[in-house]
Amino acid sequence: MSTEINLDKLYDDSVKILTDLIGFRTISGEDNSALINYCEDYLHKIGATSFKTYDEEKKRVNLFATIKAKKTNGTKPIILSGHTDTVPVSKSWSTDPFKATIKGDKLYGRGSCDMKGFIACTLAFAPIYAETNLNRDIHFSFTFDEETACLGAPILIEELKKRNIKDGICIIGEPTKMKIIDAHKGCYEYTTYFEGLAGHSSAPHKGVSAVEFATRYANKLIELREDLKKRAPKDSIFDPPFSTLQVGGIFGGIAHNVIADKCHINWETRPVIKEDGIFLNEQIDKYANEVLLPEMKKVFENSKITKKIIGEVTGFDRVKKSEACELVSSLTGDNSREVVSFGTEAGLFQEIGISTVVCGPGSIEQAHKVDEFIELNELKKCINFLNGIKSKSISN
């Protein structure tokens, strides 16, 4: 039994679904449950099973759905993965950012390329997988809050570990114009808070200036940045080849003549290898706890230094032999491998042993911008790609 697949119809479906998805306002940090329910209902109707995981307030949701193999023969499952959140919008859009608008060969709307376009294609194709004699499970992984600091995915990954879904191939459909991305740096963001003792500026020895201690902390970070340069791996594939560090802001103090009791520093590092992140944290924590804090406490026992992790987006490492990359190459005919400067959820899947690749429709050039769009042809390319996955997933 073989039925011809009407790819044009699937493409039309993907446009319709994308239009629906853009209509859900799912800016990072906001409730995305309406969109998730839409996807879950859709997938349930075609026979998929699913589970959801949540943030602490149960406001934001990850969905993981599965179309089961008809006959398993040990072929690794495929995870089609996308984040459901988008970056915020500004007032300067020429169309309503939450209403999909087609002009010429482009579809405009927030999230059109980053990355509801990919999600729409996978949903449009899902009914075909459901009626195929699959030799492997096809999973759909839709997460929340990727854009802020990959906050949703780790919660989902924990659940995958519990359910023993640790082996497989993951395709992260971030906009790459269907090119293969197989590595990116990590991105770790922190805020460090300093609490000292306020006082009159004429008697600095009686207070603990949070601003001054924060400044010394910032200087130490800048010093450590030089050490990171020296630690650059010889075969680094990144530009620059070493882990970077940046102090993004120092906030503290109320007046010229008042000793500041509070100050905080925003800083981030982009490690090329995990060990650099560990090294940096160890060094700066040691400096804070063994040098700065004892000095602060000498004057004021309740002084505090607290480092808060805003997000630690795991780096995505290039591996010599990647099943995920090979699968994509065999379908697109493209053997190139590129690195990117943006972070994704790829490292999180890779970390639990899932072979992962970043490859999806649309261009990162349009992501996060005013008048974000996806070229309609990219959706077609993605539908063809998903059809290729089907051809690699049929049991004989």
Which residue do the tokens 């650059």 mark? Answer: 232
Residue nearest to Zn ion (CB): 114
Signed CA dihedral, 54, 55, 56, 60: sign only:
negative
DSSP string of 173-190, one letter each residue: --SSTT--EEEE--EEEE
Amino acid sitting at position 367: A
The shares of helix, strand and coil residues in the chain, as percent rounded to the nearest 5, are 35, 25, 40
C-beta separation of 254 from 210 below 8 A: no
Q: Which of 132, 125, 64 is nearest to 345 (CA)?
A: 64
Question: Considering the complex, what minimum distance in angstroms separates the CB of residue 144 from Zn ion?
Answer: 12
Query: Can you tell me the distance from the alpha carbon of 218 to that of 358, in angstroms, rounded to the nearest whole number?
Result: 35
Query: Can you tell me the distance from the alpha carbon of 53 to that of 155, in angstroms, rounded to the nearest whole number?
Result: 7
Q: Residues with Cβ < 8 Å from 50, sequence gap 6 or more?
A: 40, 43, 44, 63, 64, 65, 66
Nearer to Zn ion, 61 or 128 (CB): 61
Nearer to Zn ion, 284 or 367 (CB): 367
Question: Considering the complex, what minimum distance in angstroms separates the CB of residue 313 from Zn ion?
Answer: 12
Query: Can you tell me the distance from the alpha carbon of 29 to that of 56, in angstroms, rounded to the nearest whole number?
Result: 12
Nearer to Zn ion, 173 or 196 (CB): 173
Q: Residues with Cβ < 8 Å from 245, sequence gap 6 or more?
A: 221, 222, 224, 225, 228, 267, 268, 269, 270, 280
- Report how far apart, in Å, the C-alpha atoms of 144 and of each of 36, 55, 392 are: 9, 9, 29
Question: Considering the complex, what minimum distance in angstroms separates the CB of residue 89 from Zn ion?
Answer: 15
C-beta separation of 327 from 292 below 8 A: no
Question: Considering the complex, what minimum distance in angstroms separates the CB of residue 174 from Zn ion?
Answer: 5
Query: Can you tell me the distance from the alpha carbon of 50 to that of 259, in angstroms, rounded to the nearest whole number?
Result: 56
Nearer to Zn ion, 152 or 199 (CB): 152
Nearer to Zn ion, 28 or 192 (CB): 28
Question: Considering the complex, what minimum distance in angstroms separates the CB of residue 113 from Zn ion?
Answer: 9
Question: Considering the complex, what minimum distance in angstroms separates the CB of residue 70 from Zn ion?
Answer: 33
Question: Considering the complex, what minimum distance in angstroms separates the CB of residue 90 from Zn ion?
Answer: 18
Nearer to Zn ion, 267 or 349 (CB): 349
Q: Which DSSP symbol is given to 200? A: E
Question: Considering the complex, what minimum distance in angstroms separates the CB of residue 344 from Zn ion?
Answer: 7
Question: Considering the complex, what minimum distance in angstroms separates the CB of residue 2 from Zn ion?
Answer: 36
Nearer to Zn ion, 115 or 273 (CB): 115
Nearer to Zn ion, 114 or 137 (CB): 114
C-beta separation of 381 from 136 below 8 A: no
Report the interface residues with Zn ion, using CB under 5 A. 114-115, 174
